[in-house]
Structure 1
Amino acid sequence: MIGRKIKMIRQAKKEDAKVIAPLILVVLKDMELPILESVTETEILAILEQGIQDEQYRYSYRHTIVAEVDGKVAGVLVGYPGSKEAEIDVPLQQIAENLNISLGGPLFVEKETFSGEWYLDTFVTDEQYRGQGIGTKLIEALPEFVQQSGEHVVGLSCDQGNPKARKLYDRLGFVKTGEVVLSGHRYDHLQKEI
């Protein structure tokens, strides 16, 4: 689209929750998480919106950067130091209880992070903005964001069935350091020093 420009890559704000939640849901659906069989889309969106506003939760606004195009959130990147993986989902049960939603289990079961890395957990561009370099700009903004946490290696899991994403990560200097299985899907674990 001619005339669209990325105006800003910035830290997410609590007020972004309603826009960020549906983007995160895209990734959760792609992962085919078992919990999505026991809660409705409306319920998971409500949980995500509350979670985004919680400073400790996995998808907290504090763990999220966004790309804005013409004043609208066009892409989202969520991550955290891998050392925090054991604690980032602790708020989930309380959030669900506050919303009177029964989860029937945790959102994530498997360990995703590798030792000594900042983990890029979720990365998605709104469908209408894909192919415009937004994902690249978000990843290029990572060094400043990651270094604030004291980490110097970024890790991520790339679905082996998503060659387009893998091509992007390869082009941006990520290298395969292992494999993991998450919700029955095989992922390459990639890392990059920053």
Structure 2
Amino acid sequence: MIRMATQKDCMEIAKLLWVIFEDMELPLLKKISKNTLLDMVAECIAEPTYRFGFKRGLVYELNGEIAGVIFGYPAEDEAIIDEPFRNVLLKNGFDPNDNLFVDKETLPNEWYIDSVVVNQKFRGLGIGSALLNGMSQTAIDAGYHTIGLNVDKANPKAKKLYASLGYQKVAELVISDHQYEHMCKSLTIDSLEK
């Protein structure tokens, strides 16, 4: 079942997101311990404007457990999505400029899928595709005609999934010193049936 994320999901979501943080080799992981960073991210998830704020996320729940999560937002929100994390860094005595994410990720006028992750034990069940389609519907409901995401060039399996759902490469970006392809999809009601 897909549902909106809630504030009660914060720590469980933070733990799932950790997989992405490690894959991206985010520099902050070398400066702050895993438990402290998880606590800080979980605290921020309770803030609706955060990039991983509960109001920006959908979860796929299976047998009472969060099997996967996806976060998305309008490209124009990119300027404000990390303010809650900066505030938590400062509150905990860390440099507020040492953010998790520092690179621009979105293209203008798109609904951006920031992150999608499926718990390893639930992979291969179509949960990622269901979450991507759910976020596409969220974007359509918000009046967007284009949805975009970034895929690490070192992750051809993910790129294949996105391409199978109608996403096409439109640009290349560097995020956290990794090469990414920016892929977009035009949104219509019919595009959700792919």
Q: Decide: shared fold, TM above 0.5.
A: yes
- Matched residue SS, 1:144: helix
Deviation at 1:110, TM superposition (A): 1.1
**Aligned equivalent of 1:3:** none
Name structure 1 gaps, 5 residues minimum: 1-7
Deviation at 1:109, TM superposition (A): 1.4
**Aligned equivalent of 1:192:** 185
**What is the CA deviation profile of residues 49-93 of structure 1, one whole-angstrom value per residue up to 9, with x for unaligned ones?**
101101111110011000011121100001110111011111112
Write the letter of the residue equivalent to 2:122. Y
**Aligned equivalent of 1:96:** 89
**Aligned equivalent of 2:157:** 164
1:109 alignment partner, one of 83, 102, 106? 102
Asked if 1:124 is matched to 2:117, the reply is yes
2: CA distance, partners of 1:42 / 1:101: 15
Tell me which stretches of 4 or more aligned residues in structure 1 moved more than 6 Å. Answer: none
2: CA distance, partners of 1:169 / 1:38: 33
1: CA distance, partners of 2:29 / 2:57: 22
**Aligned equivalent of 2:134:** 141
What number of residue pairs does the alignment pair up? Answer: 187
**Aligned equivalent of 2:192:** none
Asked if 1:50 is matched to 2:49, the reply is no
- Matched residue SS, 1:177: strand
1: CA distance, partners of 2:99 / 2:44: 14
**Aligned equivalent of 2:74:** 81
**What is the CA deviation profile of residues 109-147 of structure 1, one whole-angstrom value per residue up to 9, with x for unaligned ones?**
110000110110010000110111110111121232112
Asked if 1:21 is matched to 2:21, the reply is no
2: CA distance, partners of 1:172 / 1:85: 24
Name structure 2 gaps, 5 residues minimum: 188-194
2: CA distance, partners of 1:122 / 1:39: 21
2:54 alignment partner, one of 35, 56, 61? 61
Deviation at 1:104, TM superposition (A): 6.0
Identity %: 39
1: CA distance, partners of 2:123 / 2:33: 27
Measured on the aligned residues, the alpha-carbon RMSD in Å equals: 1.3
Write the letter of the residue equivalent to 2:130. K
TM-score, length of structure 1 as denominator length: 0.92
More helix by share: 2
Do 1:154 and 1:191's aligned partners in 2 also have CA atoms closer than 8 Å?
yes
Do 2:16 and 2:118's aligned partners in 1 also have CA atoms closer than 8 Å?
yes
